[in-house]
Every structure is written in C-alpha cells, then in structure tokens.
Structure 1
Amino acid sequence: MYLAIREMRFAKVRYSLIAIIMLLVAFLVLFVTGLARGLAYDNAASIQNMDATHFIMEKDSNHRFTRSQLSGQVLVQAGSIAGQQNVQPLGVKMTTMTAEGTAGKLDVTLLGIRPEGWLMPKVTEGSAITSNGTGQVLVDRKLKDSGVGLGTVLVDQASGLKWTVSGFVSDESFSHSPAVFLNEHDWRQLQLATMARPGTGGSGDEKTYSAIAVKADKHQAEQLVSALPDSEIVTKSDAVSAIPGYKEEQGSLWMMIIFLFIISSFVLAVFFYVITIQKSSQFGILKAIGTRTAYLVRSVTLQVLLLSAGSLIVSMLLVQAIEAVLPGGMPFQLQPSTLAYTSGAFIAMSLAGSLLSVWKVTKIDALDAIGRSAA
C-alpha cells in the first residue's frame, strides 16, 4: 500500500488524467443506468405497482393488455381456484382525452378497477373513487402540468364520455402515458360506448375486462392454466416486458451501459499496461533486492481500486447534483440497490482491466530489467 500511494503522489499528473477519464465514464454509466431504470418504471409504473403475481389474459394476445378481452365468467373461475379475494378485474385502454373548455389533447391510459380492491392506488390529493359513484376518476399528478386540476372534466375523444377528476395519484403510468383510474361501472359504460360505434363489430356483453390480476402461488398458477385453456397465465415480469416498446427501449439503453463498461475496462488496461512497461526496470530492481512479486501485484491492484473507487464516489455526487436539477417530467430513477450493483460491476470491470498489467509484472525478470536499465 505504501508503494502504491507513494507512486501516485509522485506522478500526480499521470494518475489525475486517468482518474478524470474514469470519472467521466463512471458518471455516464450511472446516469444512463438511472435513465434506463427511470424509463422502465415510467413505461410500466401502474403494472409494477400492482400487488399481483400473475395476470390472466386472452389467448394469443401476446401478453399485451390492450389486445386482451376476457368475460366475467373467467373472473369467477379464477376466483374459485385462487380465492375471490385474490383476483381483481382490470381494464386497460389507451386513448386521447381533452379537458373540457380547452383545445389541448392528452394521451392517457384508462384503467378500470374495483375501488375497494387491492388494485386501488393510494390517493395523494382529493378524494378516492367508489364503486357506487359514477363519472369520477383518479388521475396521475403529471397531468397537473397540462392544466388538469380537481373538478376538471375530462372528455374521451373516442367515446364522448365525460368524467370529473376527484383526486390525484403519484407514479402511475402505462406506456409513458399518465394513468386515469375509473370504477367498474364507468369502465363498462366505456366498453358499451365503444361497441356501439360503427365498424367496431361489437354488440354483446360477453367480453368485459382486459385482464384479471391474480395473487397466486406456483401450484395455483398451474391450476389456472389447466382450468382456463382459452386464456393464458402471464407473470408480472412477462406482462411488463410485453408493453409496447419496453424491451426495445431497455435493450438499447443497456447495450450502451455494457459498452461503457467495456470501454472503461479497455482504457484502464491500456493505461496501466503502458505504465507497467515504462516501470519494468524499477520493478526489476525491486525484485532484485528481494521485493516479492505478490507485493508488486498488490500495489498495481490497489492503484486501480483507489482510482475506480474515488471516481465512483465523485461521480455519485455529480449524479445526485444533476438529478436535483432535472425537470420533473424526466424519468430518472437510481435506487440504492441499483447504485450498489452498478458500482460493484464498475469496480469489477476496472479490476479486470488491470489483469494485463498484473500479468506483465509477474513476467518481469530482475536480471533482464537491471541490464536494460544499465544500458
């Protein structure tokens, strides 16, 4: 440790340059990771917030809520297996709305739920909706930026139905659009209004819900698969992944993160390898006077660890400062668990990048290095 720190103090400029490079790479890794997690949550917050293990959807719907339609009979069958208290109907419909008296259009996702059930989100402002009332909805707080407030009347452009905002919820969205929650009665009215439109081909009452949220263990899930051959039982993670654009968006961002890890590893490997070559004679002299190879290897490894850890600490502070000034509408989320494994991966890749230098140190011959130094 003494040798590692003393050498870093002696060659301040050299090690400061690599520290700056590692700082920038670490900052990019953390920022892109926070952006990836924020976008993932914003894309599927309402589904991820639901206390469900599985969702029942229509067969051949490709695990997509917006393509699925289920009858009330499926709800009854699912309740007989998992327990009536463990199943909840769910309606999902993406639409465009306007606030009455304004011309601006709002892209939202309507979610039909039972207000007394466990799919009901926590109300942060205003009053909750009930099963007995009609024409009342809960909306995500992001709609406040569009001028929506308590008592605002929202008009669905597709059906012409109107609902009054009774309260707000937080962090509720689907496919990057704010969520609007309505009760079963209003959801059914929406379904009937949609079926009544010319060209929709709908005229019956047999299909009502988009999906059924279920709390089930592995055995109950297998029973549901056997009992509902015309439906598919989808895990929450699969349902989230099937949201349009989710996998593609996350795949692109995580590919960037992986390449940043690889780049940081290569930069560190090249830097320390060049330094090791330049110090071959010094390492040889140290070996000749009895310094063990293991001690020199620990010195190089410690330098890498100090640089990567120091860069990470400063980059964390920078990310927190940037996060504090980001616009409220920008999805950014960097939880402690995500920060921990991202930092661990960065340090691991940095240490992996030092392996080439470590190998070079072990191969240095004391006599050859002294001979080159004398020449």
Structure 2
Amino acid sequence: MFLSLREFKHAKLRYTLIASIMILISLLVLFVSGLAKGLSSANASSIQYMNTDYLVLQKDADKRISHSVITEDQMNKIGQYVDKKDSTPLSVQMTSILKVGTSNKIDTTIFGINADSFIAPKVVEGKMINNNTTNEVVVDNALKNNGLKIGDLIKDQISGKEFKIVGFTENQSFSHAPVIHMNYKEWSSIIQSNQNNKTYNAIAIKANADNAQKIEKNVSGVQAISKTDALKGIPGYQEEQGSLIMMIAFLFVIGAFVLAVFFYVITIQKINQFGVLKAIGSKTSYLAKNIISQVITLTLGSLVISVALTYGISKILPSSMPFILNTQLVLGCSGLFLLVAVLGSLLSLYRVAKIDAIEAIGRAF
C-alpha cells in the first residue's frame, strides 16, 4: 500500500483520468441496472409482490395469465390439494379508463380478486374494498400522475361502468399499466359473465412443490407455475429484460478490457522500476499486492462517487420514469464491478511476474 500511495501522489493526473473513466463506466452500469429493475417493476410488480407461491394456469395458455381460462370445476378440484384459505382465484382484464368529466384515456389493468384473500394488495392511502363493496375500487398510486385522487369517479371504457376510487396501493402494475383491484361482484358486472358458468384466469395458491405437482398430475388441463415463470409469460417482459441485461453484461466486459489496458500500459512504463525493486530483494508477491491495492483503491473510490452521482440523478428524474435503485442492487453491481476490475489487472500481474531484474536494469541504462 505504501508504493500505491506514493504513486498516486506522484502521478495525480494519470490516476485521476483513470478514476474518471472508472466513474463513468460504473455510473452507466448502475444507471442501466436501475432502469432495468424499474422497467421490470413497471411491467410486472403486481405479480412480483403478490403473496403467493404458485399460479395455476390453463395448460395450453403458454404460461400467459391473460390467455388462461380456469373453470369453476377446475378451481374446486384444485382446492382438494390445498387448504381452502390457501387458494384464491384471479381474473385479469386489460382496459382503458377515464376520469369522469374528462376525455383523457388511461391504459390500465383490472384485477378481479377475493378482497379477503391473501393476494389482496396492501392499501397505503384510503381504505380497502371488501367483497360486498359496490362501485368501489382501489388503484395503484401511479394513477396519481394522471391527476386521480381518492373520491374521484373513473369510467371503464369497455363496460361503461363508473367506479369510485377509495384507496391507493403501491407496486401494483401489469404489462406497464397500473392495476385496478375490484371484487368479483363488480368484476362480474364488467364482463357480464354468466353466473352459472364462472371462469377465471388463474388460481393463486400457497403450497409446496409437491402439492403443485399433485395439482398438475390430478387436475386435467392445468399447470402450476412459479411467479418467476409467470413473469416470463407477461408480453415483452423477457425481451425487455434480456436486452437490458445484455447491455449491462457488455458494459462489464468493456470495463474489464479498458481497465486491463490502462493498468497494463502503466505496468509496461514501470518495468525498469519493478526490475530495480526486484534486484534489491522485493518479492513478486509484494509488487503484485501493490498493483492489486491500486486497483481496489481506485475502484472503491470511483464506486463511491458513481453511487452518489446515481442517487443524485435518480432524485431529479421524472416520476413517470421507471427507475429503481435499492441497496441490494447497488451492492451487487458494485461487488461485480470490483471483481471485474481485479480480473482486469491480472494481465499486469502476469507481466510483473515475468520481469527479469537484470534485463530490466540493463534496459534502464
């Protein structure tokens, strides 16, 4: 560490430039990662945060909730393999609404649920509906950006029915649309279903893997999938996340190459000094520790600055931009970036190990 600090002091401009590049790369990695997590949440937070273990869908629905149709008979059979309190139906309908008295249409997703079940969302403002509520709904707080508030009336464009907003939830979106939760009494009035032939899109269950397999084996025409698989079935989710993850991976690869080149060039410039140090008894391990300490110090310093900048930028982003930066994401990206930086220095370590003291000293003269 002694040599590292001496070098930082002696070549301030050189290491400042390297640190600046590291800050920019790590800032870009953190920003794109935050954007990826934000888009993931905007696309599927209602499923991500749903308090369930598995979703039972129609077998031929390609794991897409919106394509699935589960009959009342199938739901009753599913209930034979889990406790009644651990299974509940879920219905999904994409629609558009408008605030009564305005003409501005808003894309939303309606979830029909049992309001007393374990998948009922947590209300952060106002009150929760119940199964006897009439013309009342709770909506995701993203709709506040559209000027909606508690007590406002909204109109469903498909059925023409009006509802009163009585509460707001959070982290409830589906396919990039805020979710409106209502009970099955109101759901039936929207889709005008035959009460003698009820159908649902999915059955949410709280069960272990064995029970899920029993349901698939013994209930005809259904499959039990995890929430992770259900997320992949949301249109565009995999493609969107795949593109962003590929971008992040390339940024890490680019960062590794850039850092490897910088430190290798610096090592080449210092071959004579390393040769002298070896000639007077310095071990290769000592010189390697010097390089590693330089890399770690620069990387940690750069990460501290880039994390601070990313949090600062997130504060001025518009609320409509899907961007999430939490502690787990920051620590994960920072740890991976530190690992990439150390791996990028291995080429320099190899070069130092191969230095011949006599040859290096001779070259100096």
Per the shorter chain, which TM-score range?
over 0.9
Counterpart for residue 198 of structure 1: none
Query: Comparing 19-28 with 72-81, which one deviates more in the overlay?
Result: 72-81
Residue of structure 2 aligned with 1:265, choices 235, 243, 256 = 256
Counterpart for residue 36 of structure 1: 36
Counterpart for residue 290 of structure 1: 281
Shift of 1:174: 0.6
Shift of 1:149: 2.0
TM-score normalised per structure 1: 0.95
Counterpart for residue 87 of structure 2: 87
Alignment of 1:1-375 (within 5 A): 1-192=1-192, 205-374=196-365
Counterpart for residue 199 of structure 1: none
1:62 partner amino acid: D
1:145 partner amino acid: N
2:200 partner SS: coil
1:274 partner amino acid: V
2:334 partner amino acid: S
2:295 partner amino acid: V
Moved over 6 A (4+): none
2:111 partner amino acid: L
- RMSD, aligned α-carbons: 1.3
Q: 1:81-132 deviations in whole A, cap 9, x for unaligned?
A: 1110100110111111122111000100000011111111111222211111
Task: State how far apart, in whole Å, the 2-side matches of 1:59 and 1:205 are.
Answer: 23
Structure 1 gaps of 5+ residues are: 196-202
Counterpart for residue 200 of structure 1: none
Task: State how far apart, in whole Å, the 2-side matches of 1:131 and 1:161 are.
Answer: 18
Q: 1:22-79 deviations in whole A, cap 9, x for unaligned?
A: 0000111111111111111111111111111100111211111111111122222112
- Percent identical among aligned pairs is 44
2:42 partner SS: helix
2:79 partner SS: helix
Structure 1 contact 79–85 (Cα < 8 Å) conserved: no
1:91 partner SS: strand
Task: State how far apart, in whole Å, the 1-side matches of 2:206 and 2:325 are.
Answer: 28
Shift of 1:204: 8.2
1:82 partner SS: coil
2:281 partner amino acid: G
1:88 partner SS: strand
Query: Comparing 321-330 with 294-303, which one deviates more in the overlay?
Result: 321-330
Task: State how far apart, in whole Å, the 1-side matches of 2:188 and 2:107 are.
Answer: 21
Shift of 1:249: 0.8
Structure 1 contact 131–185 (Cα < 8 Å) conserved: yes
Query: Comparing 119-128 with 177-186, which one deviates more in the overlay?
Result: 119-128
Q: 1:160-194 deviations in whole A, cap 9, x for unaligned?
A: 222221211122111110110010111122222xx
Inter-CA distance 19–313: structure 2 relative to 1 (3 Å threshold): same
Task: State how far apart, in whole Å, the 2-side matches of 1:229 and 1:113 are.
Answer: 23
1:37 partner amino acid: K
Task: State how far apart, in whole Å, the 2-side matches of 1:77 and 1:215 are.
Answer: 15
Structure 1 contact 69–207 (Cα < 8 Å) conserved: no
1:218 partner amino acid: A
